[in-house]
Structure 1
Amino acid sequence: MNLALTVLEITAPVFLLAMAGFIWVKLGFEYRTQFVTRLAMTLAVPCLIFTALMKSELDKGALSAFMLAALAGHAVLAGAGEIACRMAHLDRRTYLAPFIFGNTGNLGIPLSMFAFGEAGLGYAIVMLAVSAILSFTYGIYLVAGRSAGSKVIREPMVWATLLGGLFLWQDWETPRFLTNALELTGQMAVPLMLITLGTAVARLTPGKTGTAIAFSLVKFLISAAAGWALAFAFGLDPTASGVLILQFATPVAVTAYLLAEKFEADSSAVAGLVVVSTLMSAALLPLLLSRLL
């Protein structure tokens, strides 16, 4: 009973905020997704990343091991996704990137923070950075046949990660007044990301629902198993292991739909993956958390 209540306390705020965004759109209220997303990804999330890394008390060796495990996990999922697409005769341009990249930002960061505290947030941010860099390079290559690596260096989130890592490594800190301002700005990130996730799901029109259900379940099982195996292989501590497994098990990110739409893959099918996997995660992620806590 206590475990069930703990899992509910962790997951309920996340899905309630996403539901708020969903209902907001369904009621016909205006929500300027492009503006809010730009505000979050250009200002709020970079501030959250920088302050979380700068103030992190995590062991530097543990963070390095976690980053290597995150990189290895994406490689494992890329291989597993290739096999799954061939066995199921699915178009790899449409399905491979959604199989590899989960929603490590909108869902992964809040869940990791609520489940594992400040330490969980630090690890989750490392995962987000790894996933974002790979998405802008290998992910775009999968969908478009070409890389957009130059886009990475223009992302404030990437620079915030590098700068935060430098401050962490050198044990530097910004002046207190600046730290307070950055932290206050970063506090916008989590609610903005969750509400925007809800609005995005509300606006998507699912396609190929049967395939999306099977895909989402297979992705969840393989991703969680890969996270578990790599956490053991890299000797991660319980908090790092929990975040790694949880982040890999997150549903398909909305950015996968945006890439499919932009580069003319089957965006309707990817929309189905985003909607179905996100809805399924409301049941699957609490079950997974009950095993991790």
Structure 2
Amino acid sequence: MELFVRILEVIFPVMAVVGVGAWAGRRHQPEMAVANRLNIDYFTPALVFTVLANGDFQIREFTWLAFAAALSMIATGLIGYVTARLLNEDPKTVALPIMINNSGNLGIPLALLAFGKEGMAAAVVLFLVSNIFHFTVGPWVLDHNARVSAVWKTPMLIAAALGLACNFLGLHIWAPLMYAVRMLGDISVPLMLFALGVRLCDVQFSETTTSVVSAVVRPVSGIAVSAFLAWAMNLPPLQTAELILFGSLPPAVMNFMFAERYNQEPQKVASIVMIGNIAGLIFIPIALLIVLPR
């Protein structure tokens, strides 16, 4: 019983903020484009920088975790490709939402609530790996002529590079400045969840069979592949737990935005994302049941 209470304590704050966002989306139809842009360009980079620049964070400890995350995404992408073929769907429509999960909006808050501040470093590493795939592999799959070199100019990766540089060189940021950056970073997580709730209000159900199958394949394959890789690479317990939780996450909302941009059946992708995130209410607690200490 105590474990179920712990899972509820992790899930409830996340779903409550998403729920408030959904309610606000239905009631007020807020325009979130500016807020999302600010979060992507300022608040999330600030969060990434504060975690990576922290002297307690040692990037070498997470090399194998990053490698495992990359392999996990490649494996689930291939599984997504096979799933699309079996469903007679375009692999571009189905494979990317199965491969690229919601490591930002859900992954970071869940890691913070489940594992505390000790789990934030691993969550940020997983988030960065996912983002590199999202902004390189994603556009290339949707359009082989897309320029992916611009990803290295994004504020998030610049912040990551600066944070890692400070960490490697042992640089200590002036405490008041670091506190200011941390305050900006603290805006990121609740805004991610609120924006997710608002965004899900815009999504419509379509192609239910494809959406439901994808909603199940995404976390089941993610958990299975992540558990195998963690065992094969002998990852530490906390990193194993975070990788399995990472594997359970539903499709990223950004998949819909990319599908819209490249005109890749956006309504079908939106339905996959919507049903996938609803299915997360089942599969995320299952992952937490696996990884949380008894």
TM range (shorter): over 0.9
Tell whether 2:92 aligns with 1:93.
yes
Find the aligned partners of 1:229 and 1:58 in 2 and give their Cα distance.
26
Q: Which runs of 5+ in 1 are unaligned?
A: none
Paired position in structure 2 for 1:55? 54
Farther off after superposition, 108-117 or 189-198:
108-117
Write the distance in 2 (CA, Å) between the matches of 1:292 and 1:148.
39
- Give the conservation status (yes or no) of the 8 Å contact 2:251–2:273: yes
Any idea what SS the aligned residue of 1:122 has? helix
Aligned to 2:201, what secondary structure does the other structure show?
A: helix
Amino acid in structure 2 at the alignment position of 1:180 = Y
Aligned to 1:195: 194
AA at the equivalent of 1:14: V
Secondary structure (helix, strand or coil) at the match of 2:136 reads helix
TM-score by length of 2: 0.95
Structure 1 residues 177, 58: CA separation in 2 closer, same or farther (over 3 Å shift)?
closer
Contact 1:14–1:110 (8 Å) recurs in 2: yes
Cα distance in 1, alignment partners of residues 154 and 224 from structure 2: 31
SS at match of 1:112: helix
Q: Does the aligned pair in 2 maintain the 1:138–1:147 contact within 8 Å?
A: no
Cα separation, partners in 2 of 1:90 and 1:33, compared to 1, 3 Å: same
* CA deviations over 1:248-269 (Å, ceiling 9, x no partner): 2211111111111111111111
Aligned residue-pair number? 292
Further displaced range: 49-58 or 255-264:
49-58
Q: Cα offset for 1:56? A: 5.7
- Gaps (5+ residues) in structure 2? none
Contact 1:22 1:201 in 2 (8 A): yes
Query: Once superposed, what is the RMSD of the aligned Cα atoms?
Result: 1.3
The aligned residue for residue 210 of structure 2 is 211
Q: Is the 8 A contact 1:14 1:194 kept in 2?
A: yes
**Residue 276 of structure 1 aligns to which amino acid in structure 2?**
I
Residue aligning to 2:25: 25
Tell me the equivalent position of 1:230. 229
Instruction: For 1:218 and 1:148, locate their aligned partners in 2 and report how far apart those are by CA, in whole Å.
Output: 30
Shift of residue 30, structure 1, vs aligned partner: 4.3
2:8 is matched with 8
Q: Which amino acid aligns with 1:84?
A: T
Q: How far 1:58 sits from its partner (Å)?
A: 4.2
State the shift of 1:151 in Å: 2.5
SS at match of 1:207: coil
Q: Give the fraction of aligned pairs with identical amino acids, expressed as a percent.
A: 28
> SS state of the match for residue 153, structure 2?
coil
Cα displacement string for residues 110-162 of structure 1 (whole angstroms, at most 9, x for unaligned residues): 00111111221111111111111111111111122333313212210011111
Corresponding residue of 1:155: 154
Relative to the length of structure 1, the TM-score reads 0.96
C-alpha separation in 2, matches of 1:135 and 1:86: 22
CA distance, structure 1, for counterparts of residue 114 and residue 264 of structure 2: 36
Counterpart contact for 1:46–1:161, Cα < 8 Å = yes
Contact 2:87 2:210 survives alignment (8 Å)? no
Aligned 8 A contact 1:99 1:219 in 2: yes
